[in-house]
Amino acid sequence: MHSDMLTPDFETTQNLDELHLKLEQINVKNGWNKPTPSLYPEPRQRYVPAHWRYADARAALHAAGRLVGTEWAERRNLILANPIEGNDYPTVTTMVAAYQMVKSGEKARSHRHTPNAMRIIMESTSPAYTIVSGVNVPMEPGDVLLTPNWHYHGHDNRSDTDAYWIDILDAPTVQLLGPMFFEHHPDAVEKTEKVDPDSSMRFAFRDYRPQLLAQPEAVPGVRMLGLGEGMVETFDRTAIGLAAGTVWKQPRKTASDIFVVVEGEGTSSVGGRQFAWARGDVIAVPSWIAQEHRAMQDAILIRVSDTPLLQALNWVREEK
């Protein structure tokens, strides 16, 4: 409680300027003269559409392979921070994407954390694994692998080639809400010889590609296939097939998307920004920004969206 000596005398207040000063003394803000409104008629978006080229990231990671060792870096990765002033982490409001590389014969230590994570493999040859909760899960190009929250995971590249992939996590959401926990595995790299190519944590490209192409068209030239629906509560994964020449338009919606190009080439217009994309590229589509994608040749994209999180809160909206 405030003592009488510290509590302002509101009864003697003569004008609003004086009242505002006294409110500061009791650590409250007035609700009639806010510098910025707390409620507004539609979403405000500070993140911008963005595009990263795999060719650039691969070259940078190859250089980092000479300079950054996994023995002292938690992960050798390149964070795709949305290019707005003051930002060095989130790709979109709720998610972060990063390119990662594990060199031939190298291991990346096992850890676990409250953020959910996934990876989309760009280059990898057998035997190269993500170790998930005591199981070696193979990594092959185009594969989608999950590491749900609090599952130990590390990487073990026993092959004779370097492995490259794209990670996506909901860490920005966890940072915002606060329940962040992280710990290393006691064995540094979890020890196991068990290999499970059919792990529920793996969606092999060789399996989902034909399943996707066998789907009926959602709209002309566009096929969709959900990967592991319900396995992660905060973001989903959808394989999207675009036939050559297809133009796929999406209206403004409250969900944010991150696209990874698994196959093919094309262009995208997102909020008026134009991107030409190819295999391995990443495109950020923040919420409430219209998007249009055009396939120059048959293409497969993985769309990662925070729709499940918004659905749980009844915040999914789409412009009509």
Query: Lowest-pLDDT range, 2-11, 135-144, 174-183, 300-309?
Result: 2-11
Q: Which residues contact 302 (CB under 8 A, 6 or more apart)?
A: 120, 144, 227, 237, 238, 239, 240, 259, 260, 262
Does the structure show a pLDDT above 90 at 302?
yes
The pLDDT value recorded for residue 211 is 98
For range 212-234, the mean pLDDT = 96
The fold of the 50-206 domain, in CATH, is: Jelly Rolls (2.60.120)
How far is 100 from 119, CA to CA, in rounded Å? 9
Does the structure show a pLDDT above 90 at 2?
no
**Domain boundaries of the chain, sorted by first residue:** 1-39, 50-206, 209-312
Return mean pLDDT, the chain. 95
Name the more confident of 74 and 127. Answer: 127
How far is 269 from 249, CA to CA, in rounded Å? 9
Q: How confident is the model at residue 249 (pLDDT cuts 50, 70, 90)?
A: very high
> 3-class SS at 85?
coil
Please check whether residue 81 is in contact with residue 91, taking contact to mean a CB–CB distance below 8 angstroms: yes
For range 278-301, the mean pLDDT = 98
The pLDDT value recorded for residue 69 is 74
Does domain 209-312 match CATH 2.60.120.10? yes
Does the structure show a pLDDT above 60 at 143?
yes
DSSP assignment letter at 92? S
The pLDDT value recorded for residue 83 is 98
Model confidence pLDDT, tens digit, residues 31-90: 998 888 899 999 999 999 999 999 999 999 999 888 887 676 678 899 999 999 999 999
Q: Do 50-206 and 209-312 have matching folds?
A: yes
For range 231-244, the mean pLDDT = 97
Does the structure show a pLDDT above 90 at 317?
yes
Alpha helices in the chain (DSSP H): 16-25, 54-67, 171-177, 205-213, 307-312
Tell me what percent of the residues of the chain surpass a pLDDT of 90.
Answer: 91
**DSSP secondary structure of 16-56:** HHHHHHHHHHTT---SSS-SS-S--SS-------EEE-HHH
Q: Which of 49, 103, 32 is nearest to 283 (CA)?
A: 49
Q: How confident is the model at residue 262 (pLDDT cuts 50, 70, 90)?
A: very high
Q: Which of 303, 240, 294 is nearest to 267 (CA)?
A: 294
Q: What one-letter code names the amino acid at 159?
A: S
Q: How confident is the model at residue 283 (pLDDT cuts 50, 70, 90)?
A: very high
Does the structure show a pLDDT above 50 at 174?
yes
91: how many CB neighbours lie within 10 A of its CB?
27
For range 87-97, the mean pLDDT = 98
